[in-house]
Homo-oligomer: A and B are copies of this chain.
Amino acid sequence: MAGSTFGTLFTVVTFGESHGPATGCVVDGCPAGLSLDVPVIARELARRRPGGKGPAPSGRKEADEPEILSGVFEGKTLGTPIAILIRNTDQRPGDYDGLRDLYRPGHADWTWEAKYGLRDHRGGGRSSGRETAARVAAGAVAGVFLASYGITVRGWVSSIAGIRIPFPGEAGFDSEEAEKNPFRIPCAGYVERVNAALEALRQEGDSAGGEVFCSVTGLPPGIGEPVFDKLDARIAAAMLSIGAARGVAFGAGFAVSSMKGSENNDAPFAVQHDNAEHGGAGLPPGTLPPGVPELSYRTNNSGGVLGGISSGMPLEFTVAFKPAASIRRRQETADRNGAARELVIEGRHDVCIVPRAVPVVEAMASLVIADLILMQRCGR
């Protein structure tokens, strides 16, 4: 029912069908007094925009110009709901007439009808990636709130079309690079190879999956609510709520299932001035309750969360995305009459949506963390 509403305190509801008049969101619970304007939101929208950066740009051209309808007065948030409207300007519903009675493989066409009895077939209606524009707008608001804590949420593509990209600490890794190339990979040396792989798939009329790695720095310890609202549990739900996501893992990830406890345990140590470089030092006064010493950890297999609560180490997780379901290759499927049909999807589709998923991952992570920080505020 209320499946389009997210969060407990810092909440967002998104609305809009892919080819309806508009998409948008209402952010409720954002604290008062923060500086917020349209450019902050527009900048993030530009990062996910179809026809913007990203390989095989979708032919769809959306201005994605957000309008702030409420919640901001004289440049400051009021503590009231922030409604953001994004008009759809490049609808081509006609492109989809042929799909009205067809159920596309890998899409939610039939499950949607099984649930609701009807659907907006134009571009997947609400199950379209178009919905994520509203999430990115909401995430930009959350990002402003997190910035006031010195928290940075940053993602990049760590694997694409089966090509594994170097991770932090490995040769060739360059976190600055990710926003410079269309694939959002943090390694200039791989750009050509990835481009070739995606071009080959485009020729075949096929698509590619990939993985996004996300790192959150500056997150104070103590964020996350045991038992069911653990930081990692909330992040996991947020990531799997992104259409094409099929898995999520934290820190050492699935590899932990083969590790020994002695290998996996992160050894804590008390932070002294002379080991500030371990990142634990310099917590703002009052971050920790009285009598609790500041610790850091020699390793971060836990991905920055222990017992569902942030440890002060970077929160790190990876999200796996399936290849885009819309491909030009001929596929077998069925229609509303239960007849077998062959399908060739024309129109405007990305070979790989993973680079464009990066700002969505960041947005969802920002929304979760903003919500849990408010939770922590009221518990202390």
Q: Are A23 and B70 in contact (CB under 8 A)?
A: yes
Q: Are A116 and B241 in contact (CB under 8 A)?
A: no
In the complex, A1 has a CB within 8 A of chain B: yes
Q: Smallest distance from the beta carbon of A96 to chain B beta carbons, Å?
A: 12
The residue of chain B having its C-beta at the shortest distance from the C-beta of A303 within the complex is: B246
Q: Are B228 and A3 in contact (CB under 8 A)?
A: yes
Contacts of A70 in B (CB 8 A): 15-17, 20-23, 126
Contacts of A291 in B (CB 8 A): 117, 336
Contacts of A260 in B (CB 8 A): 201, 204, 206-208, 323
Copies of this chain, count: 4
The residue of chain B having its C-beta at the shortest distance from the C-beta of A269 within the complex is: B334
Within the assembled complex, what's the spacing in Å between the Cα atoms of A210 and B257? 4
Contacts of A270 in B (CB 8 A): 334, 338-340
In the complex, A190 has a CB within 8 A of chain B: no
Within the assembled complex, what's the spacing in Å between the Cα atoms of A226 and B229? 20
In the complex, A310 has a CB within 8 A of chain B: yes
Q: When A227-B126, A247-B249, A289-B116 are in contact, do A323 and B16 touch as well, CB less than 8 Å?
A: no
Within the assembled complex, what's the spacing in Å between the Cα atoms of A321 and B2? 31
| Most chain B CB inside 10 Å of its own CB: which residue of A10, A115, A256 | A115
Within 8 A of B (CB), among A310-326: 310-312, 320-326
Contacts of A21 in B (CB 8 A): 67-70
Within the assembled complex, what's the spacing in Å between the Cα atoms of A32 and B208? 34
In the complex, A29 has a CB within 8 A of chain B: yes
Q: Smallest distance from the beta carbon of A22 to chain B beta carbons, Å?
A: 5
In the complex, A6 has a CB within 8 A of chain B: yes
Q: Smallest distance from the beta carbon of A86 to chain B beta carbons, Å?
A: 10
In the complex, A379 has a CB within 8 A of chain B: yes
Within 8 A of B (CB), among A233-252: 233-241, 243, 246-252
Q: Smallest distance from the beta carbon of A170 to chain B beta carbons, Å?
A: 18
Within the assembled complex, what's the spacing in Å between the Cα atoms of A263 and B323? 9
Of the listed stretches A39-47, A100-108, A147-155, A176-184, chain B binds: A100-108
In the complex, A118 has a CB within 8 A of chain B: yes
Q: How many residues of A contact B (CB 8 A)?
A: 164
In the complex, A81 has a CB within 8 A of chain B: yes
Q: When A162-B258, A208-B260, A322-B256 are in contact, do A117 and B33 touch as well, CB less than 8 Å?
A: yes
Contacts of A253 in B (CB 8 A): 246-247, 320
Q: Smallest distance from the beta carbon of A127 to chain B beta carbons, Å?
A: 4
Contacts of A379 in B (CB 8 A): 1, 29, 31-32, 79, 115-116, 374
Contacts of A167 in B (CB 8 A): none
In the complex, A196 has a CB within 8 A of chain B: no
User: CB within 8 A of A374: which of B1, B103, B229, B294?
Assistant: B1
Contacts of A246 in B (CB 8 A): 232, 249-254, 256, 303
In the complex, A295 has a CB within 8 A of chain B: yes
Q: Smallest distance from the beta carbon of A162 to chain B beta carbons, Å?
A: 4
Q: A5-B228, A15-B81, A272-B338 are in contact. List 9 more A-B contacts (CB 8 A).
A: A16-B83, A105-B265, A108-B309, A114-B312, A207-B262, A254-B254, A264-B325, A269-B333, A270-B339
